[in-house]
Amino acid sequence: MAAGSMLLISGPSGCGKSTICDRLLTDARVVYSVSATTRAARPGEVDGVDYHFLSKEQFRAHIEAGEFIEHAEVHGNMYGTLRAPMEAAIAAGKVYLVEIDVQGALQLKALDVPGIYVFIAPPDFETLRERLTGRGTETPEVLERRLQKAEDELRERDKYDHVVINDDLEGAVSKIQALAGLA
């Protein structure tokens, strides 16, 4: 069986990563990388499906055991990508969908982890603000922090293989499917 590949989706908070990943996951050839995190589950989130929800001690033990291919602190919580499921999915010929923040993506790039690195950009900064506000999941203070961080993250877009502007959702999903050989 031919080896699969890693499809990495990254970009600032509110740019549409989760929405795009949900669409990509309707294809049976795509497998989602379930990250580990120390943040609390949001209503509706399922342990082992959305994230592996870990205590700080458990997370630290995974770091010490070398089980993460990358890990980073994002918005005050720890997040990490597990190595073993990625290797298994790629060996099984799947497209392994990794949705992580910009720091994590650049760590994988620096490690030369093979894959398709896609930066999702909002059409413009005002739209990003509107989408984040519209999602209604952040307090005003957290929202401002995420927007400040987004300005820095947008400057990193040239380090990726591809930049896809999430203006029209269907168009953005189709572009990514074509990049990953899923079209």
Question: Which spans of this chain sit near ligand ADP (rule: CB under 6 A)?
Answer: 13-19, 131, 134-135, 166, 169
Output 90 or 108, the one with its CB closest to ligand ADP. 108
Span 20-39, contacts to ligand 5GP by CB under 6 A: 35, 39
Output 20 or 78, the one with its CB closest to ligand ADP. 20
Output 17 or 94, the one with its CB closest to ligand 5GP. 17
Q: Which 8-state DSSP code applies to residue 36?
A: E
Tell the smallest beta-carbon distance from residue 119 to ligand ADP (Å). 11
Tell the smallest beta-carbon distance from residue 42 to ligand 5GP (Å). 8
Two tokens at 181? 């050989």
Phi, psi of 32 (to 5 degrees): -85, 135
Output 28 or 40, the one with its CB closest to ligand 5GP. 40
Supply the DSSP string of 77-133, one letter for each residue. EEEEEEHHHHHHHHHTT-EEEEE--HHHHHHHHHTT--SEEEEEE-SSHHHHHHHHH
Tell the smallest beta-carbon distance from residue 32 to ligand 5GP (Å). 11
Tell the smallest beta-carbon distance from residue 43 to ligand 5GP (Å). 13
Two tokens at 117? 């690195």
Under rule CB under 6 A, residue 160 binds ligand 5GP: no
In this structure, the number of other CB atoms found within 10 A of the CB of residue 76 comes to 9
Residue 18 to residue 148: CA distance in whole angstroms? 20
**For residue 30, which of 7, 64, 3, 1 has the smallest C-alpha distance?**
7
In this structure, the number of other CB atoms found within 10 A of the CB of residue 88 comes to 12
Output 62 or 146, the one with its CB closest to ligand ADP. 146
Under rule CB under 6 A, residue 16 binds ligand 5GP: no
Instruction: Note the residues at the interface with ligand 5GP (CB under 6 A).
Output: 13, 17, 35, 39, 70, 72, 74-75, 79-81, 99-101, 103-104
